[in-house]
Amino acid sequence: MIKKEDYFNRQIQLWGEETQTSLENKKIAIIGAGGLGCSLALALGTSGIGYIDIVDFDTVGLHNIHRQVAFTLKDENHPKADVVVEMIKAKNPFVKAKAYDMDFESFKTLNNNHYDLILDATDNLQSREDIDRYAKSLNTPWIYGSVEAFHGQVCFFDKASFQVFNISDHKPAGITAPIVMHIASLQANLALRYLAGLSVIKDKLYYLYFNNNGELITQKFSMPS
């Protein structure tokens, strides 16, 4: 039988058994099971968080697989949320994960109104605006992440409003696989610190990009409420 103290040994070394045990009572929702969602699920699904809901209406396509780490070629045409949940459970025997094969509008009507944190893994500004409204209606913080080409953005939204963004139907021209994993990793680290009771800077946007010389630049912007 697998023991929790063995499975989570490295994290217990980091912050002790009490903090690790506290994660078992935390519940999160990941909205989107694409590139960001797959990496978020992989990182957070193996960290000891007790309850994880995955929301996505789409199925796996061939063009998804290179940057969506939960999927293999055999998963093509399968519901993304279902595959991601199977992956989480295969990696971590202690997590309770549930798939919601539906769009966010349908999900909001289910009265799943107790989350400690909501994570955005969508691919358009309109959905993030909806997540912001939903999270604020529940008085629940959420973490925004977006990627395009070689750059991305991350923000822990608490009091600030997503309405400061110019909400438009912008579609990224292309995305590299590593930047998807990098941004999701930053989202996951913010999430885990928050859920473990560690300090997190809220309502600050981190914008990361490579300049023309290939140097990684990080800019920070305080978000108005």
Q: How does pLDDT run across 29-47, given as a tens digit for each residue?
A: 999 999 999 999 999 999 9
Q: Report strand pairing: 204-210 vs 216-222.
A: antiparallel
CA-to-CA separations, 73 to 33, 40, 42, 202, in angstroms, rounded: 16, 20, 18, 38
pLDDT at 175: 85
Helical H segments across the chain, by residue range:
4-7, 9-22, 35-45, 80-91, 104-108, 125-137, 177-195
Residue 224 banded pLDDT, cuts 50, 70, 90 = confident
The pLDDT value given to residue 168: 60
How far apart (Å, rounded) are the C-alpha atoms in residues 120 and 29?
Answer: 9
Percentage with pLDDT > 90 across the chain: 85
What pLDDT does residue 57 have? 97
Structure tokens at 180: 């998807």
Entry pTM? 0.95
Number of structural domains (the chain) is 1
Mean pLDDT score, 134-163: 94
- pLDDT score of 60: 95
CATH of the domain at 168: 3.40.50.720
Assess whether pLDDT exceeds 60 at residue 167. no
Supply the range of the domain harboring residue 164. 4-222
Rounded average pLDDT over 90-97? 97
Average pLDDT over residues 196-206: 97
> For residue 165, is pLDDT > 90?
no
- Overall average pLDDT of the 188-210 stretch: 97
Residue 171 pLDDT > 80, yes or no? no
Res. 225 pLDDT band, cuts 50 70 90? confident
Q: What are phi and psi of 101, to 5 degrees?
A: -85, 75
Task: Tell me the C-alpha distance between 208 and 197, whole Å.
Answer: 26
What token pair was written down for 23?
Answer: 């994660």
Over residues 161-173, mean pLDDT: 71
